[in-house]
Structure 1
Amino acid sequence: MPETGIKDQSDLGNIPLEEKINTLYRLTNGLAQQMEKSRIAEYTELLHSPWRLIWLNIFSGAARGLGIALGFTFFAATIIYVLQVLGALNLPIIGDYIADIVRIVQHQLELKTF
């Protein structure tokens, strides 16, 4: 907020009218700029168009779901690859558990559920 130079209510009587108007103008202008930055007008237009709002939500939900699916697939493939590499190293104790996990995952991937 802009500096007004007013310290308390008792100073208001000593300030010239022109300075009060300038201060009010600066505060109002700052508020209008903040509202422009928040894009509140576009939001209210969107609320008056419910079908557009529905379509935007459907598309954004589909994009979010696709992103989650792709991200999880990449993450799971990376984990399986790392487990296969660790299993190939024939580490004692850990290697047996990793080999079992990889075998279970590969078996599940080969199953046809349809």
Structure 2
Amino acid sequence: MTTASKETAVERGRRHQFKGVVQSDKADKTRVVMVEWTYRHPKYDKTLRKRSKFYIHDEKNESHAGDTIEFMATRPLSKLKRWRLVRIVEKARLPKTAAEPVKEAAV
């Protein structure tokens, strides 16, 4: 009986996982992530967009605004934070003007 309880303690159920875009990275170790999805209205049969805002715990401050991340449910960390960062799916793209150095004209 003890071995069965140990196995279930190690084996956890599937937790909720979502992908979203980081909207704000201003707070230390906290990210605000927007998740957007579409669904059909049951009566009017119209496609609608729904958005939800999640507060994510980012222990190493790895993600920044504009990054696409994957996150999962965890124990409550604060009043609003119940999610933690799993991985960064895609980094935000920088504008080309900031990435390229300006060339001076030869006189």
TM-score interval (norm. to shorter)? under 0.3
TM (norm. structure 2) is 0.20
Higher fraction of helix = 1
User: If you compute each CA radius of gyration, which structure gives the higher value, 1 or 2?
Assistant: 1
Higher relative contact order by CA 8 Å / sep ≥ 6: 1 or 2?
2
TM normalised by structure 1 equals 0.19
Structure (1 or 2) with the greater strand fraction:
2
